[in-house]
Chains A and B, each alone.
Chain A
Amino acid sequence: MTSAPFLHVDGVSVTYGKTRILDRLDLGVAKGEFVALLGSSGCGKTTLLRTIAGFSTPTEGALRVDGRDVTRAPPDRRGMALVFQSYALWPHMTVAANIGYGLKLKRQSRTEIATRVDEIQNLLGLNGLGERLPTALSGGQRQRVALGRALAVNPDILLLDEPLSNLDARIRLSVRHEIRALQRRLGITAIHVTHDREEAMVMADRIVILDAGRIAQQGTPEEVYNQPASAFVAAFMGAENLLQLDGQVSGSSAAFSHPAAASAFTRQTGEETWRSGAFAARFRAEAAVLCAAGEARPDAHGMEFQGKVTSVSYPGGLWRHAVTIGNDSVLVDAPRCLPEGEAVRVFIPTASLFLFPMSEASSGMASTSRSDGFSAAPGQD
């Protein structure tokens, strides 16, 4: 983070009635940066975006753009334009009128408006659609008109409220890249709200993961993916397999054991302040290696568990095995199909095994199971 962010959310809290949606949240966004606000429904990401846009007023804290306090400024005096999830196009106006309305409000001349509308239509590939009504457009075209309407007024900051969630899955993939390329080309600062992890990873320079009105972690896509700071972030970033380990901490190293583990596993504690006790181990299905009986495991540092295949499915690319380890069930991907009932070993390399003390993990787990349908294995809470 730079010392003077372009957009500075400074200790902002927002409450609706007695519910606190945002809790003294701090966030800085640099000029030209693309930031994704990622979280499950109800985590406060849309409220944060609407607060930045000026549609919700903070109960405490301040918002600054380029050093200027905009906490109480009306939405149009913040140099921001919001693209709505529903697109919110005006159904009675043509595409050109939708795009040009912001300029009309700024009392620009008709020729200036026409020129700018043409420019935007060219930029977004909407040529020839200017006289159509929004109802005569496809979802992708509507989305581009909504984007064009926001870009037409040359905002300093572009706010995107789940702009892709109403598109077909296939179109969504290409529009992601289009928006990202456009943002780079224009050098515009963008804040993008999404609940789609992959979308955030592909589009953003920095991902800010929100949980219960606070920032759970922020960093580059690689950082939050490979070094999750909490069990919640790990689960949200796809490490949904959960095993409970017993950890004995002595000095700067810790030894972890599990009834089904082939041998104890030791790891440096690093910067964490760990105490002996129960630990949550989280890992991704594709990060684990599945070894059949008698097969050698990869020659690397990691932890190995004994298990049994209970079911197999083929989601594409790799075979997905449900493996029972002790009382828990985990999912492990393998390039080949192992039959149901086969005794196997599951090996997880150190770098892919995310460990968190259970006391801390339980709070994260509670919000995970609530939010994205992942249910923690029995006996973990």
Chain B
Amino acid sequence: MPGSPFPRDPFFPKIFLSHDLLPHDLLLGSSPVMPRYSLGLALVLPALTIIVLFFIVPLTASVIGAFRIGDGFGIGNFEKAFSLYTADIIFSLAVVALSTLLIGLFSIAIGGYLVLGENPRAVAILRWLYRWPLFIPFIVVGQILRTFLAKNGLMNNILVGAGILTPLQTTGLLDWRGIVIAFVWKQTPFVALLVSGAMASIDRGTIEAARNLGASRFRILWEIIVPQVRGTLSVGLILSFVTMMSVLSVPLMINAQSPTMITADIAFRINSYGDYGVANALGFISLILTSCVAWIYMRQAVKERM
């Protein structure tokens, strides 16, 4: 591009490629620049419009709605939300945090076995099996687990039938435990898929070097492999965290009691009371919680790109 003040060195950071069409050039009025600038804008415009129309506008409206009381603005919706639902907010965080932790542990275990397993047949079976829940929607997971985990559900029937429990000893797991089981069951394959891919691509020599010096398989997994896939693991867990925070079907299907998750409360405020103010406030609180972990994700991504 003639007249550009920016070098066209191929090694020059890519980010400058978008900068080299800045007002600087436009002010100079160099004619070949204008069509390219408009063309670029035209190409971006559809995507930009969709983001603005379907994402930024509703989000802003929702955030504004959270602060709207009657004709004015205030934090009344938040006061109401906290007075009614503080227990649910803590419940949601605790359930999702515990699920995230368990998902992390299970996906490390699955990925670790896929990389370090010495029985080829067992590795092949695990590789084939672990991804199945990926293709099952949350609502179906909720439905399956509701019939499985109930007091008179399939699991207890099997345990009673096998003579492990008597009918009097059975308890239903349709509370926070059910939600955690559903979340872990559904999300572990997703994180395990990312993590096992990352584990498979690390230099196998680093594993063998540790074995050569006498490290056990557990130590190899924990001290050699996991630190090398830490980035991928945390990205997978953060994406799972955000996904689980937004699931409505599972708490509705499994946990029809209080405390429950924020998503169920939002649905309840809107469907039963038409109370968009408190619903928006709860949505905003949920957004703040997920933003915190998203911020960790962004920081990680930036660090990796450096």
Q: Which A positions have Cβ atoms within 8 angstroms of B?
A: 53-55, 74-77, 80-82, 84-93, 101-102, 105-106, 149, 153
Contacts and interface: CB of A to CB of B under 8 A. Distances in A.
**9 closest cross-chain pairs (CB), A and B:** A88-B205, A76-B214, A102-B213, A92-B227, A84-B205, A88-B209, A88-B206, A105-B214, A75-B212
A102 B215 CA distance: 8
B206 A89 contact: yes
B212 to A, nearest CB: 5
Contact of B210 (A54, A80, A101, A153): A101
Given A84-B205, A105-B219, A90 B211 contact: no
B203 interface: yes
Contact of A82 (B208, B224, B228): B208
B87 to A, nearest CB: 40
Given A55-B208, A86-B205, A105-B219, A81 B213 contact: yes
Contacts, number: 60
A136 to B, nearest CB: 14
Contact of B203 (A53, A88, A102, A106): A88
Contacts of B210: 90, 101
Interface residues of B, number: 16
A53 B212 contact: yes
Contacts of A75: 208, 211-212, 214
Interface string B4-26: 00000000000000000000000
A82 B227 contact: no
B227 to A, nearest CB: 4
Contacts of B205: 84-88
Contacts of B215: 76, 101, 105
Contacts of A153: 213
Contacts of A89: 206, 209
Contact of B214 (A82, A87, A92, A106): A106
A105 B215 CA distance: 6
A106 B219 CA distance: 13
Nearest to A101: B213
Contacts of A92: 227-228, 230
8 contacts: A76-B215, A81-B213, A85-B205, A88-B205, A92-B230, A101-B213, A105-B214, A105-B219
B236 to A, nearest CB: 18
B228 A91 contact: yes
Interface in B206-256: 206, 208-215, 219, 224, 227-228, 230
Contacts of B213: 76, 81, 101-102, 105, 149, 153
A101 B206 CA distance: 12
Interface string B177-212: 000000000000000000000000001011011111
Interface string B74-110: 0000000000000000000000000000000000000
Contacts of A82: 208-209, 212
A55 B206 CA distance: 13
Contact of B209 (A54, A84, A106): A84
Contacts of B214: 75-77, 102, 105-106
B300 to A, nearest CB: 15
A307 B25 CA distance: 70
Interface string B133-156: 000000000000000000000000
B205 to A, nearest CB: 3
Contacts of A54: 212
Contacts of B206: 88-91
Nearest to B216: A105
Nearest to A161: B205
A90 B215 CA distance: 13
Nearest to A54: B212
Nearest to A50: B208
A252 B230 CA distance: 73
Nearest to A80: B212
A88 B211 CA distance: 12
Contacts of A85: 205
Nearest to B219: A105
Best-buried of A80, A89, A101 by chain B (most CB within 10 Å): A101
A77 B212 CA distance: 9
A53 B209 CA distance: 11
A250 to B, nearest CB: 58
Contacts of B211: 55, 74-76
B304 to A, nearest CB: 13
A18 B78 CA distance: 71
Contacts of A74: 211
Contacts of A87: 205
Interface string B41-69: 00000000000000000000000000000
Nearest to A84: B205
